[in-house]
Amino acid sequence: MRSDEIKVGYSRAPNRSLLRSLGITDREMSLPFIGIANAFNTIVPGHVHLRQLSEKVREGIAAAGGVPFEFGTIGICDGIAMGHEGMRSSLPSRENIADSIELMVDAHRFDGLVCIGTCDKIVPGMLMAAVRCNIPTVVLTGGAMLSGYRDGQELSLIDIFEGVGMVAGGVMTEEVLCELECSAMPGCGSCQGLYTANTMACLTEAMGMSLSGCAAIPAVDSAKLRIARETGEVVVSLVNKKILPRDIVTEQSLKNAIRVDMALGGSTNTVLHLMAIASEAKIYISLNDFNAISDEIPHICDMQPAGPHSMQTLYRAGGIPAVLTRLIKHLDDTPTVSGRTIKQIAAAASVKDESVIKPTTSPVNMGGGLKILKGSLAPDGAVVKCAAVDKGMWQHKGPSRVYDGEQKAMKGILAQEIKEGDVIVIRYEGPRGGPGMPEMLSPTSALVGMRYSKVVLVTDGRFSGGTRGPCIGHVAPEAAVGGPIAFVQEGDQIEVDLFEKRIDLCVDTKTIEKRKKTWKPIKKSLKGVLKRYAKTVEQANIGAVQR
């Protein structure tokens, strides 16, 4: 066993002495040592309940013949960080989480690992660590929050973000917004819709790194406690069988995850995260793979924020196993941590509500929920959640309204500077220029709340999984490195065509070259983590990984 390096032989007497101080017995010294990376904290709603789950994991590990050791990782709530300078810290935290787990695993020579997390950057960071360390690992995602409720209507966090725009537009009072604020988020768990946290939970299950059914179980359901116990038992089995993450996370299993992403209409952030996980596993996945799979897989689940269904509704309809059943002919048959293959899981499942998980022959949309756009404005690609875009806006051409940063754009939107038909450009918010690609849920939600219906938003930053409407992010190359988005001027025509997967700046090459000669990138005063991050992060089209 790997842990023998810290506990076998007379030369390891000092190491064993420290282990004995923890209460480790002679019998336990001969058992597999299992690390539990737990993102529990009391500031993130998706993480506040994870201590209870970790207790069940510990029970499972001990019952199966392992010795559990728990340690912490950080976790940022994107919702709390949204709309201010704190949002720049979110994406860099993904790398911090992966690094911290790697350091703990390597230093303490664990034989196996359980990763317990829920929210947006935590689960991707844990998956990156799993394939990097490549010791037997199971991921336990913490589950979604129950829906809020007011006056016969289910609520989620997006209702509050959009309510801000309604107040600014004069169609809602602050008193009503306060009532919504107090009703929307009833307890622990990740935000209720198919936003980034829940999308990543679904994709973790689809790639085989969590137990079947795990993703959609609500945070407060006792089934989550039971699957936590089973997770602890299973990781010991993986250690005994020497089954490693890179046996499970393969090109085929990542493409299965993309297929499920397309079927669900998941968050645009998954493009960044899946590519980063692939990079850690030494697997080549490109933006072209997302488009190819989008053309193949129909969008069959009309999930929040674009549709009516919450994660709780998906759970009642059969969860991810039921989605896999719908896609079984499209899936590669890959192994999972459960010991069953993905097609065995799909074959054993059933759809309990066809209004939620539709047949592939009568889907919500014939194409997948995400598209990669390219063109003169984004030569290296941009991402749009087409499942959340009204068909009437799949083709649009309009004048640009240019803002150097989210805060300026938000002020302009709330001041009603925007007219129907405009294309809002928010730049210098990319991986390096932001730095950290802050999410743009505040401006996108304000546009919806203020009842704009024919406005496109384009950015080299990111969008929350809660975004809906014609919002195009991850524009690469970004403005800070001299991408074409840096040379857009107020009033330039921008053309978007989701059918053709294109986004173009309608300005001739000579004019662009002339603008380049006088261009100077915006310089920001940075310190600490963000300063280091800006120097080492790559572009969005390769996952915003650090080199």
Q: Which residues are registered as beta bridge partners of 458? A: 425, 472
Q: How many CA atoms lie within 13 Å of 200's alpha carbon, on the beta-carbon side?
A: 33
Name residues whose C-beta falls within 8 Å of residue 527's C-beta, 6 or more positions apart in sequence: none
Q: Which residues lie across from 384 on neighbouring strands? A: 371, 472
Which backbone phi and psi does 112 adopt, to 5 degrees?
-150, 175
- Distance from C-alpha of 376 to C-alpha of 170, rounded to nearest angstrom: 38
Return phi, psi of residue 400, to 5°: -85, 145
SS3 of 436-502: the string is CCCECHHHHHHHHHCCCCCCEEEECCECCCCCCCCEEEEEECCHHHCCHHHHCCCCCEEEEECCCCE
Closest to 143 in 3D by CA, of 263, 259, 50, 56: 50
357 in Cβ contact with 314 (< 8 Å): yes
CA 171 – CA 45 distance, rounded (Å): 30
The rounded distance, in Å, linking the Cα atoms of 157 and 195 is: 10
Count Cβ atoms below 10 Å from residue 489 Cβ, excluding itself.
12
Query: Radius of gyration over alpha carbons of the chain, in Å?
Result: 23
Pairing of strands 493-497, 502-505: antiparallel
Residue 120: half-sphere exposure toward Cβ, Cα within 13 Å = 33
Residue that is written with structure tokens 């009568």 in the block = 362
User: Cα(5)–Cα(86) distance, rounded to whole angstroms?
Assistant: 41
Which ranges in 156-310 belong to alpha helices (H)? 157-168, 174-183, 196-206, 222-241, 245-248, 251-264, 269-280, 287-296
Please give the structure tokens belonging to residue 94: 């993904």
Q: Is 9 exposed, middle or buried (0-12, 13-18, 19+ CB in 10 A)?
A: exposed
Return the active site residues: 464
What's the CA angle centered on 196, arms 396 and 374, to 5 degrees?
35
Planar angle of CA 328, 333, 334, nearest 5 degrees: 130
Q: Are 540 and 430 in contact (CB under 8 A)?
A: yes
Q: Which of 159, 164, 191 is nearest to 79 (CA)?
A: 191
